[in-house]
Structure 1
Amino acid sequence: MPIPEDVTGDEIDKDVRQELMSLPKTLAEDVARNLVMVARLIDEDPEEAYAYSRIALRLASRVAAVREAAGFAAYATQKYSEALAEFRAARRMTGSVELWPVMADCERGLGRPEKALAMAGEPEVQKLDKAGQVEMRLVAAGARRDMGQIDAAIVTLQSSELASHSVQPWTARLRYAYADALLEVGREDEAREWFGKALEADKDGSTDASDRLAELDGVEFVDVLDEEADTADPSGTAHAAEADDETGSAPEGRDEQDRPAAN
């Protein structure tokens, strides 16, 4: 696959660069450039990122950083079985527990919330840093919701990190997950309060808390482009319906707020 000329491979993290030093120089450069493309595309075009990760994996499958990148690219495209296999391989190579929360979330993606919940109680969780422990809490709460245990999910999210007034990288997502769970059980006033708190902490737009608040306040959003298209082509709705019949409906997406973000 083509790689822009401005991508040199020097953009990668120094720890990853250190790992690649075990490879011949030219090979290391090729792998590094593909890893840069994975990092660039994983949010905006996960399928393309996945394709670049497979190239890196083919070139250097014995490098832990490559296995981890391949895992996150597979995770981003909802290939959870493949992602889990890559994360397990990376963990075997490094001995690190850092990937434990996202491995548990892969179990959720595979329809095994009980397994994810069991992982939340394993000793590995105590070895995680604070960010990792919060991610594990989000995954555990998501697993509870998968199992229909919404009240238990709410209790799982109640923690010192949730109550803290300091804003950390995980704060917005934690508050959002709590608000969403409260809303599910009909505690609308509390949900509105916590969506507001999530919005206050969401400096990089990692949640749609503002939209959720607007919905609670009865604000409806209108897509002007869609309206213009309907005006230009009165049969547009029928065409869209026909297309849906041909392609089938996309499966319902999983909640973005209660799972770890790919790093």
Structure 2
Amino acid sequence: MKRLPIPDDVTGDEIDADVRQELMSLPKGLAEEVARNLVMVANLLDEDPEQAYAYSRIALRLASRVAAVREAAGFASYATAKYSEALAEFRAARRMTGSVELWPVMADCERGMGRPERALAMAGEPEVNKLDKAGQVEMRLVAAGARKDMGQTDAAVVTLQSPELASNSVQPWTARLRYAYADALLDVGREAEAREWFAKALEADQGGQTDASDRLAELDGVEFTDAMVESEDSEDEVTEVTSGEESVESEESGAAEAAEKSEEAAEKPAEAEKPVQAEKSADADKAADDNS
């Protein structure tokens, strides 16, 4: 099996204790290798999901019977929009653990596969009641997204209206919930309310999870320009003006040179006539002497 390079400072000890506990069912050397690949998946998932996916496939080939490995492979597939693969891995992990924790992301995979009605059906299953508060909010976000996929924009707004949305306390999911609600309001033409909720989302977004600030600016008619592009344009303008000035200077210099040559040309015939006139004068003097 082909391996991918792993930095020496990645030891495998970086993984969570519960995952390390799962890997204890493997031989020590194999457990260490799987752990190091899982660390690479976690490290690369956001910045380079394709590479994270590659490491997850190695871990999967090494230890497909470990639930944590199936879950990591699921998230790597999900991050690269391989929703069918992701759903299969999440289902396998759920069978191994019996946990409902992955229920919302499984429903979102159904959306990704173009089956929003299945995602909506999952939102009404008993498993949702077993989720913690964060999981229930996530399920609500998925359900609202499914409503939008089906063209039910008004229903999406209603789906997101909840005690969690109305709460003033800021939780890890607050910014995303408020942002989704603002976006849903915008879809039904309630622009003033949408602006208010984008502002609330920005207020709660301490980790930069959303682009609420950009959406607010867009609603306010603010346009951002790329400083680098603007700088390049300015340089092009300067170059163009300079080139133009050089061209004008060159034309002026050429005109002056032509005028100077013309003047010289006008002066030269006059200078050439002087010796001839002098010779004629000398001949006349000589003839007068001879006559006398």
Which stretches in structure 1 are left out of the alignment for 5+ residues? 235-263
Find 2:167's aligned residue among 144, 164, 167.
Answer: 164
Displacement of 1:222 in angstroms is 1.4
1:39 aligns with 2:42: yes
SS, match of residue 88 in structure 2: helix
* Equivalent of residue 139 in structure 2, options 132, 136, 157: 136
TM-score by length of 1: 0.87
What's 1:110 paired with? 113
Distance apart, 1:233 and its partner CA: 8.8
- Number of equivalences: 234
Deviation at 1:226, TM superposition (A): 3.8
Can you list the C-alpha shifts for 1:209-236, whole angstroms capped at 9, x where unaligned? Answer: 01111111111111233445677899xx
2:213 to 210, 215, 222: 210
The 3 A distance-change label for structure 1 pair 233 and 96 is farther
Unaligned 5+ segments in structure 2 are 238-292
Q: TM-score, normalised by structure 2?
A: 0.78
The correspondence for 2:29, drawn from 21, 26, 32, is 26
* CA distance in structure 1 between the partners assigned to 2:169 and 2:158 by the alignment: 21
Higher relative contact order (CA 8 A, sep 6+): 1
Paired position in structure 2 for 1:248:
none
Residue matched to 1:150: 153
Runs of 4+ off more than 4 Å = 227-234
Aligned to 1:76: 79
**1:222 aligns with one of 207, 221, 225:** 225
Pick aligned residue for 1:95 from 93, 98, 112: 98
Please, which moves more after superposition, 219-228 or 204-213? Answer: 219-228
Paired with 1:105 and 1:177, the residues of 2 have a C-alpha distance of 15
Q: Which has the higher helix share?
A: 2
Amino acid at match of 1:144: R
Q: In structure 2, do the counterparts of structure 1 residues 92 and 221 end up closer, same or farther at CA, with 3 Å as the change threshold?
A: same
Identity %: 86
Larger Rg: 2
Distance in structure 2 (CA, Å) of the matches to 1:232 and 1:103: 52
